[in-house]
């Protein structure tokens, strides 16, 4: 029941108010996110390697869950996939089991990294969660193919080129499920609040929400520099057996992480 425990540590609330919060607060106020965070999203001759971590976390609150070794982890370059599962090393993110790898870039291209995690059992929600997670890294000036799908069960196609942006730019994305646009999808948005440097005026601000239009498209203006995660959620058309042997719902998420830069002053 880690979600309840995590909520207890969030904010300064009395025990009484907390008892009310745990019952009344929507789960989305502290949303789960598959995370795939590299240390750079633009690779140049000076920096040819990206180090990245894979985790399952609450990015704003800085609270983690343990992540089993992913079922799939690959990079897609020009539509050709390379399996990277064997490169994963165990690490710790937000105090919980996570994975890391270093990837060395050899030629220009827009590299799309994708993760299919094992189903995560969430007792607090009586459901399984599978977050198909991706991020893009542009190498050596390449600028083509950043809006291609990579064949995940569900994924967000960026319509704003997802690199070379400033905080204050509007992210535009299209949500696909089985390759088809999803109208009216619920998209949760969280900022990766590294080092807990920012605070939220209310629980609502922790996880912001935007919906897709009739074409499956959403727009969100990112107000701060850093990593922003978008999680488009849908319910699977199948069930998985829970620990109690009963059929359980499966939440599918299409997660995209994109970096918005601070605009530096000229020297």
Residues that bind Cu ion (CB under 5 A): 3
Tracing tokens 């070379």 back to the chain, one arrives at: 164
Give me the least distance between CB of 58 and Cu ion, in Å please. 6
> Which of 3/150 has CB closer to Cu ion?
3
Find the residue with minimal CB distance to Cu ion: 3
> Which of 61/137 has CB closer to Cu ion?
61
Give me the least distance between CB of 61 and Cu ion, in Å please. 9
> Which of 3/94 has CB closer to Cu ion?
3
Give me the least distance between CB of 231 and Cu ion, in Å please. 13
Give me the least distance between CB of 93 and Cu ion, in Å please. 13
> Which of 63/177 has CB closer to Cu ion?
63
Give me the least distance between CB of 188 and Cu ion, in Å please. 13
Sign of the torsion formed by the C-alpha atoms of 40, 35, 196 and 91: negative
> Which of 3/159 has CB closer to Cu ion?
3
Give me the least distance between CB of 19 and Cu ion, in Å please. 19
Q: From CA 91, how far away is CA 62, in angstroms rounded? A: 16
> Which of 61/175 has CB closer to Cu ion?
61
């Amino acid at each position: 029941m880690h979600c309840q425990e995590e909520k207890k540590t969030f904010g300064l609330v009395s025990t009484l108010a907390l008892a009310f919060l745990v019952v009344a607060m929507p789960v989305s106020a502290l949303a789960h996110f598959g995370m795939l965070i590299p240390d750079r999203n633009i690779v140049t001759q000076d920096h040819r390697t990206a180090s990245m971590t894979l985790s399952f976390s609450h990015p704003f609150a800085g609270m983690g869950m343990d992540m089993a070794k992913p079922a799939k982890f690959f990079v897609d370059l020009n539509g050709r996939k390379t399996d990277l599962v064997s490169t994963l090393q165990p690490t710790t993110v937000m105090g919980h089991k996570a994975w890391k790898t270093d990837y060395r870039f050899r030629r220009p291209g827009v590299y799309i990294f994708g993760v299919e995690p094992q189903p995560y059992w969430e007792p607090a929600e009586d459901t399984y969660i599978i977050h198909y997670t991706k991020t893009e890294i542009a190498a050596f000036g390449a600028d083509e193919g950043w809006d291609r799908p990579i064949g995940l069960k569900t994924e967000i196609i960026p319509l704003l080129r997802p690199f070379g942006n400033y905080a204050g730019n509007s992210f535009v994305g299209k949500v696909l499920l089985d390759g088809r646009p999803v109208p009216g999808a619920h998209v949760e948005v969280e900022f990766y609040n590294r080092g807990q440097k920012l605070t939220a005026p209310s629980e609502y601000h922790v996880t912001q929400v935007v919906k897709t239009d009739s074409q499956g498209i959403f727009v969100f203006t990112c107000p701060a520099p850093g990593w922003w995660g978008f999680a488009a959620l849908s319910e699977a058309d199948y069930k998985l057996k829970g620990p109690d042997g009963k059929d359980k719902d499966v939440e599918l998420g299409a997660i995209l992480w994109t970096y918005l830069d601070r605009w530096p002053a000229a020297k």
